[in-house]
Amino acid sequence: MLLCLPYLPKLDFYSNKSSVPTKQTMAASTSPNFSTSLHKNTHKTKFPSSAGKNILHNKVGFSFSAPFSKSVSVKSIGTAKYDEVVVDEELDKIRRLQNGSDVRGVALEGEKGRKVDLTPPAVEAISQSFGEWVIKGLEKERGYPVENVRVSLGRDPRITGSKLSVAVFAGLARAGCMVFDMGLATTPACFMSTILSPFAYDASIMMTASHLPYTRNGLKFFTKRGGLTSTEVEEICDNAARKYANRMAKISTLLSVIPTKVDFMSTYAMHLREIIKERIDHPLYPDTPLQGFQIIVNAGNGSGGFFTWDVLDKLGADTFGSLHLNPDGMFPNHIPNPEDKTAMALTRAAVLEKSADLGIVFDTDVDRSGVVDNEGNPINGDKLIALMSAIVLREHPGTTIVTDARTSMALTRFITDRGGHHCLYRVGYRNVIDKGVQLNSDGVETHLMMETSGHGALKENHFLDDGAYMVVKIIIEMVRMKLAGSNEGIGSLIKDLEEPYESVELRINIVSEPRHAKAKGSEAIQTFRNYIEEGRLRGWELDSCGDCWVSEGCLVDTNDDPAPIDAQMYRAKVSNEKHGQHGWVHMRQSIHNPNIAVNLQSSVPGGCLSMARAFRDEFLKASGVYTFLDISQVDKFTENGSIA
């Protein structure tokens, strides 16, 4: 028979409207640590067993509960087909939260066209699945059942952090884990909490959405091995999706285990201070080796303020004039991002005003950084990779350096001129780091892995992308140069790095429903590859660095243990008779949003414009993929030579 379910109004039983932080109520939510007990945070929201469900009876005589969703029609005398429809929708909700090796979503209303999807029940389901995954892994590793598995949680100052932290603790407790609340923390500190004594937790979660708007939030996962891979996070999200779909993950009103509050950040800061003191080994000021140096820190109102008062100040540095150190989850001054022009401009102005030796810009959770030298020159992107390469190659001559495939041809020359090897690889910081780990395990010495976004990891630091540790390396080199009699400043190490003549990034939105966007994006990018291989774009060839087993646009591993591909992308080098090889085009699928990024770089004037026109006319339009893509930004650039 045909059973038609009536339209049911959509209600959210998991949110407490009176406690959802908004722009007007954010003052009560920005404390670095829990200022309210977990019981106070949870007792106001109740979930009666029948709430949110409409009990439907059919003529056969049984009843079933239908979660409020939307009008559904099924042909069934039972619940199987109905459940299948609802379960598929619920599974997709969790799976779409996966963002490569992270989980990210909208946690607060306020974004046009975006609904809240990172809800407390979703977070609890994911956290429970992570806890179970950790326990299962430890039991497999040790060969016997484990108890008292310890997991820590840190968070950035986002205004949804307190509410979602309760969900994390509830999920971990439900999985059987002991939970520890680090309060305001950084992403690298969360990993280090699994390493440094006396903490040495079995696993850790960082709640952050990096540089994304205050409405977003997310989760990053760590074990003692490091950050989880995309494949591992996919497994966790799949398990969480089933819990969520089965309504197993209503946010707990009472926690069976109250988290233990810990001050790990002081231990982490001391760890960084000891590294600086030991490696500088100052002949006059062994305990305050930064005495006489003025350093400006711009924390962007994120989690990075600790580096000023707990690291630099205690080592003798003058940090007067530093910017936006107080944590504020609304990020009122600028996006906390070392790639942000406003962040770099404000830091540059402060460095010049104070005649400082160095300026530092952190992103929200301090896994990325950028710097400004003593002459006010911003150092990020390729310049930061070049600076770190120069430092690392002094310590480890001949080492391989892995970057994403958006770096310039000039950077490759910079690295090779200093005796290093440059491996270009997939965009995505986790991809770049994992490639370095793989190269080392295969006997290829690789000490630096770095993405143009500022994510950088070192072999000596557990392959951890740590913006604070990168700055520590730069500060150590700066002091060593001064002790050796140089007054040139850190920027002198990259004075011979050539900059590309032109560089452009274009965005192409995918015109599709969200659930189909990934498939459509992959289709467009695979068509791009086919067009190049078939010679339809004259002078275009899939690129590879030639120094390793990465081929097909620096994407595909041809070794015996290829890494899985999390997002499609290809890089093509472009040549013509007049200039020879003069540029490249990189087309990649975003893992954050339903769009495609196209990066173009040229060493000759007008090169980006000519490549963009060929890309549009001889690929996008000729292949027909433009029919499901919004290429308006490409059109604007090809017609005006600018997207401004």
Dihedral Cα 12, 15, 17, 23, nearest 10 deg: -120
- For 114-152, what is the HEC assignment? CCCCCCHHHHHHHHHHHHHHHHHHHHHHHCCCCCCCEEE
CA triplet 549, 550, 554: central angle to 5 degrees?
A: 165
Residue type, 539: G
Mean pLDDT along residues 331-335: 95
> Considering the entire predicted model, what is its pTM?
0.81
How confident is residue 270, by pLDDT bands cut at 50, 70 and 90?
very high
Tell me which of 129-133, 371-375, 518-522, 604-608 is least confident: 518-522
pLDDT of amino acid 99: 85
Give percent of the chain above pLDDT 90: 67
202: Cα within 13 Å, side-chain hemisphere = 23
Residues 250, 253, 258, 262: is their CA dihedral positive or negative?
positive
Partnered with residue 574 across adjacent β-strands are 540, 583
SS3 584: strand
Query: What does the pLDDT average to over 113-141?
Result: 95
Asked if residue 236 has pLDDT above 90, the reply is yes
* pLDDT on residue 433: 93
Start-to-end Cα distance in the chain: 59
Token pair listed for 44 = 């106001």
Q: Is 219 exposed, middle or buried (0-12, 13-18, 19+ CB in 10 A)?
A: buried
Average pLDDT over residues 208-223: 96
Residue 148, number of CB atoms within 10 A of its CB: 8
Residue 273's alpha-carbon distances to 305, 306, 351, in angstroms, are 15, 12, 23
DSSP code per residue over 468-510: HHHHHHHHHHHHHHHHTT--S-GGGGGTTPPPPSEEEEEEEEE
- Average pLDDT score over residue span 253-267: 83
Task: Outline where 215-324 has alpha helix (H).
Answer: 230-245, 265-280, 306
Question: What's the rounded Cα separation, in Å, for the pair 618 and 612?
Answer: 10
pLDDT in tens, 65-119: 333 333 333 333 344 443 444 456 667 888 889 988 899 999 999 888 889 999 9
List CB contacts of 468: < 8 A, sequence separation 6 or more.
186, 188, 272, 304, 307, 311, 362, 366, 369
Q: Which of 27-31, 49-53, 166-170 has the lowest mean pLDDT?
A: 49-53
pLDDT of residue 466: 97
Distance CA 487, CA 292 (A): 13
Task: Give the type of residue at 16.
Answer: N
pLDDT at 256: 62
Domains, in order of start, for the chain: 84-265 (3.40.120.10), 266-493 (3.40.120.10), 502-640 (3.30.310)
* pLDDT confidence of residue 113: 81
pLDDT (0 to 100) of residue 1: 36
Cα–Cα distance measured from residue 58 to residue 13, given in angstroms and rounded to the nearest whole number: 26
Which tops the pLDDT comparison, 83 or 226? 226
Give residue 594's pLDDT. 86
| Predicted local distance difference test score (pLDDT) of residue 175 | 95
pLDDT in tens, 450-464: 999 999 999 999 999
Pairing of strands 216-223, 102-106: antiparallel
Q: What share of the chain is helix, strand, coil (3-state, %, to 5)?
A: 35, 20, 40
Looking up tokens 């520590």 gives 472
* SS3 state at 438: helix
